Each structure stands twice: as C-alpha cells, then as structure tokens.
Structure 1
Amino acid sequence: MNPVLAPATSASLIRSEVAGLPLYDPGADPDEVAALSGGHVIKLSNNENPYGISPTVAEAVRRTLAGGVSRYPDPTGKRLAEAIGTNLDVPAEHVVLGNGSENILELLCQAVLDPGDLVVTQAPGFALHEIFPRVMGARVVKVPVTAEFGFDAAAWRDALAGGPKLVFLANPCNPTGAMLSAGELEQVVAAMPESALLVLDEAYGEFARTDPEYPDGLEALRGQDRPWIVLRTFSKAYGLAAFRVGYGIASDATLIQALDRVRTPYNVNQPAQDAAIAALGDHEHLAETVRRTGLEIARVTDRLRGAGLRVVPSSTNFLFIDTGCRSDQVAQELLRAGIIAKAWREPGYETYIRASLSTPEENDVFVRCLTEICAKGKL
C-alpha cells in the first residue's frame, strides 16, 4: 500500500536553507518616503551615481530603442565581451556578463557550491556574499575587520586555514568603503588554499583607483596558477544602475563555461549591452564622475567628523557612519526628513548607517539633518 501523504502547503515545500534566509534590504521606497516627508526625496541608500550617464551612452540607447526591442538580445553579449576583453587585455572567452555583478555572485554559488561547503567573506560585508552561499546550503564564515576597520591578517589566515571552497573578497569593501592595499591583498592570496576559488569583487574599484595604494585585482591575479574571478560593474561609477549590467574576468575559460551552463541565456538586455559598450569608451565622463565624487567624499567626511561623528575612511562613493544611536531609529528620523539611508544591522554595527553621496546641495541637507538627529542624543 502506498503511504498516505499529508497535503502539501507552500511552507512545507520551501527548502530549509531558503526559509531561514534574511531578506535583502534595498532601502525604503522613494514614493512612500515622499508621502511620509511631504517633500523632495534624497535617495542615499543604494550607492548610485548622482551625475547620470554620459551623452555618448544616451545616444547609444536611443539608437538601440529606435531599432526596436521586439527581438531577444544577443545571448552571449559577444560585442560587449569583446570590448571588455580589448579594454583589459584579456580573451573574450574569459569574460562573463551578468544582470549586475550580483547576478554573477549567484551564478558562482550555483555552479561551485555543494551543501556543507565552506565560504569565507568579510564582516561587515555585502549581504549577498552571505545569502547566495546559504541558498546552496553552504556554511559561511565572516572575517571581522580590526577595531579601526583595518585588515586583520591573522583573522584571515585562520579563516582560510579552514579549507573554504569559495572566498568572497570585496575591494573596496561594502559597507565600510575601506580598501585593501596591494600588500594586504597579497597576504590573502598567499594564505588561500590552492583548491579555493577567489572571487574579488571590485564593484567600486573605479573610485579607488586614484589611490596609489589600491591594487588592480586583475593585474595582481593574472599570474596566479589558481582559479579566480574578478567582478566589476557598470552600475556604480558608470551610472548604469537601471540597466543592470556587470561582468567578470576569470582565470580560465572553463570557469566561464560553467557559469554559462547555469545562467539564463538572455540575462543582459540589449539596451544594457549597447549602453555598457558606449560607457566603456567614454573615459572623460568616468574620470569626471570619479573626481567629483572624491571631492564630495572628502568634504562630507570632514563636516561629519567636525560634528563629532565617526566616519570610516572611504575609497568609494559612500560613507559608513557611526551615529552613536540605534541606526534603525536614525534611519527612520532621516526618512521623516525625506532622506533615505541604510541602517546597518550586522551584529556589532547596529549604530552605523551607510549613505551614498549625491550632489553637493543634497549632501548638505543630509549632513545638516543627520547632525541634528544625532545631537538629540540616544533615540
């Protein structure tokens, strides 16, 4: 006789790994904040580029749309992969495209991880460096920074000695904005087991490259006889966040072929591919965006520190700020003023907010509101 099975419910069908996952926090909805504040909204929650796309990119998108969008995009992104390869002096078959670089993080976990595998990443860190491995049933160990938000070489050596299969290392780091020097990156690579895959996430690398201490991850890893992949994106410095296009450069074509087997065949739309090609060629717009961002990072950091707040030195377009108060309540007070920042909730950092910078005028409003809120004392 067949056993009598209880009828399924939606909850009973969900894998235990998925049921226990934290939700990714994209920040508050601007329309809801506008209704709450009754005025203009300043969105500082997603590390976006306030200066927009270049005219060259806008023209490329217009041409694509004029040609029609009733056909599927190039499933391989051949022209964009070749443009990236030419720009970085790598074979196009070593390039993978993603619906944002976070899509490639997901593909890597799907292609590489088995249940029980160990993944090592940073703390505080990007939530998806933890969420995607846990979806696959992997274990995640997070290496903390020092008390001064610096690189803890001993902690990294200890974590890597555990035999991870995958290592997520962001440089610069999200959410702190801090970067690893060339020597610190070398220490991580030297301590890694040869069997591990190093994923170097350089989503904010364009902002950091003005610092002579910042290592170009691709150049640092080219000669390594081990599996690695460097991730970059057009969402941040290039201003193409709405198009969702990122890319990875891998140590070998075998890794790219594995990612191609698990990705959806049309994961980057055609306007995004064409916009990215145009953005890649507009060096002047990128340089001006980085210059203006750097000036605002320095100016806003000085003002916040002058008001008595602790601000982590940032090599990105965002700041990690210790408010001295519960970050969720600070963020809620900012919402009432029409400002969206992200309250950080990782253990040990519950008084910190992360705020990307906008135009000088909007940044001034943010500084004034934040300092007034923090001056009230503990919320």
Structure 2
Amino acid sequence: MLNNPFSGLYHRIIQRIHPKVSATAPQSSGLDELQAQLQLLLANAWSRKESEALSPDQPEVHKRRSQEEGWREERRIARAHLLEAILRRHQSFATGFARSQLERLGLVLKAHEPRAFSPATLEQTMQFHILGHLYAQSGPPAWAKLVQLLEEKSLDWPVSPDLLESYRSDDRTAVLAQCTRTLEMTFLARSPSYTADYMMGEIPVWTYLYPMQGGWLWEQTVLEAVACAFRAHLFAFTVNRWIWRDPHLEEQLTALLEPYLARSRTLVADVDLSSSATILEDLQHLFVEVITRIVWDYASAGHCWGAEASEDPGFVAWDPVCGMGLKSSHLQLSFTWEEHTHYFCCKSCLEQFQATPESFFRNWGGGPGQ
C-alpha cells in the first residue's frame, strides 16, 4: 500500500496554528477538514477586517458619510430650486398647473402605468394594450403644445453653446433642429413613472448633483418638465374617459369581439387546438391595431389643455391610489381600511391598495371629501 503524502498534514497545520489542539486529531488525509478550517479562518479574518473598516469610530468612515450626506443635501436643495423653476415656467405659460395638480397627475401616471401579466387573461391583455396606446398617443400632442408655447413666446430651445459654436453659422439651424428632434424622441420614450418624477423635478439619472441653475441644461430640463405635465394631463383625461366609457363604446367593442368569441366556443367544443391558436393571434391583432385606435379616438375627444379643465365640482370622493376624482355614480368599488371606506376608479387601483394600503394612505391623504 502506497504511503499517503498528505497523511498527518492537516494535524501538523492545525498544531502550528492552534498548538493547544488535542493530539488525538484524526490521522486521515484531512483535505476536506483542511479546506473547511482554512476557509473558516479566512472568513473570520475577513470579517474582522470589514468590521474595522466599517467601524463608525474610524475617521475615514466619518469623512465618507459626511461627504455623502452633503451630496444628498445639495441634491435636495437643487431639486427644490428646480421644482420652483418648473412652477414659475408653468405660471409664465399660463398652463394653470400648480404643485397640487402636478402631484395628482403623477399619481395617475404611476397608478395606471401599463402592467404586463404573465400569464395574462384576455381582459388583462386588452387593458395592457389600451393603456399603453393611450400613453404613447398622449406624447406627440403634449410636445406639440410645448413647441406652440415656445413659438408664442418667441423662445428657442436652450442648447449647449459649445455645440453650436463647433458648427458654421449656416449649419446651426439644422443642428438645432436635430437636437430638438433628439430631445423629442427621448421625451416620447420615457416611461410613465419616469415622466411623473421628471415633471416634479426629480431626475433619477442625476444621482447627486444637478446642473448649474440658469444654465442651458437646467432651462432645457424645465421645459421638458412642462411637456411631461401636458402629457400626464392628456393621459389622465383619456384614462378617465376609458374607465367611465359610454355604453355605446362598450357595445362597439363587444360587437368587434363577439365573432371571435363565438368561433372560440365552437372550436373549444370541437377540441380544434390549431384553429384556436389562430383565433388568439387574431385577437392580439384586434387588441393592438383596432381596439386601441377606437378607444383613443373616443377617449381623447373633447380634451382641453389646462388644469382647470380637469376640475369637476361633481366629485364626491378621490381614489387614494391614482388621485382621480369620483362622482357619486362612480362609487362602485370600495375597500374599508382602518374603519374608513375608500373608493376606487377601477379594479387595478383597488388591488394595488389592498396589497399595501398603508403606503397609499401615507402618500395620499385621500383628497377633498375623504
């Protein structure tokens, strides 16, 4: 039998590290025990090193924490100044939007942001496509409204002077047009949640510092925030119209769906799976291409710019999730929490509230009348 070259190695190493270890340690090859012991020693050493590095008594830690707190405070102050600049711009444009209206529109954007479910029912799929279409379609008119106001005020889009100076004077008009087009594409691509934060001066990509007040990037951000408010206003209007749609629109959509549903019932009865898959594909096309267009044409009809257009004296309650005003005929969905009954505009808002009621109650006091 060959001698094991590792025999006793573990015991000798442990004796060197811990001389008081009993001499009766097993005389096995010890590779597994060696690995486990060394890993434990390494882990303990690393833990002590981390503990020393993160000790609140260390001056380096105090310095770093103080620096981070300073950055956060600078960012908080800059964000407050940016919001003030946004509100002043709304005032100069006479949009009618005050801080309270912007906060409420932000709730609508976040509460009714299109959410994909997996797996999804046909109803959820249709709602996803409709809300996505309403949000997408609200972008171009909002941007056009901002461009109109800039023209009325004889204002140009603020851009980097260094950028314009790098081109000949006869090329600058084309460069400016390209810059504003890029800004528009970026604006249209923003998610509802991002838009909600942006119009309140909360720019997620600016982690610590904001740009120089009064500079071209600062002024550009202010104008984009105004466009975000226009988009939120139009989106909120169309969502409200969709939720409380007229019976004739419901009949129109039902008439579109009924042939597919009738065919589905027949195919299910015949267990025709291949044809059933075709019907599902046809329904997807119907949701994306047909129903969304019909809903947008209906929901956007009669929209007027301005915060005053969304104020309705007939509201008797406010949805705590999206902040949408509810008339007495709309009080169909409710949930009692902490001995108070809250009303909701739709099933989605009700389910969001039921999941974490305290978060919505903390962020939104319920509005007038609650």
With normalisation by structure 1, the TM-score equals: 0.25
Larger helix share, 1 or 2: 2
Question: Higher Cα Rg: structure 1 or 2?
Answer: 2
Task: Considering Cα pairs closer than 8 Å and 6+ residues apart, tell me whether 1 or 2 has the greater RCO.
Answer: 1
With normalisation by structure 2, the TM-score equals: 0.25
Larger strand share, 1 or 2: 1
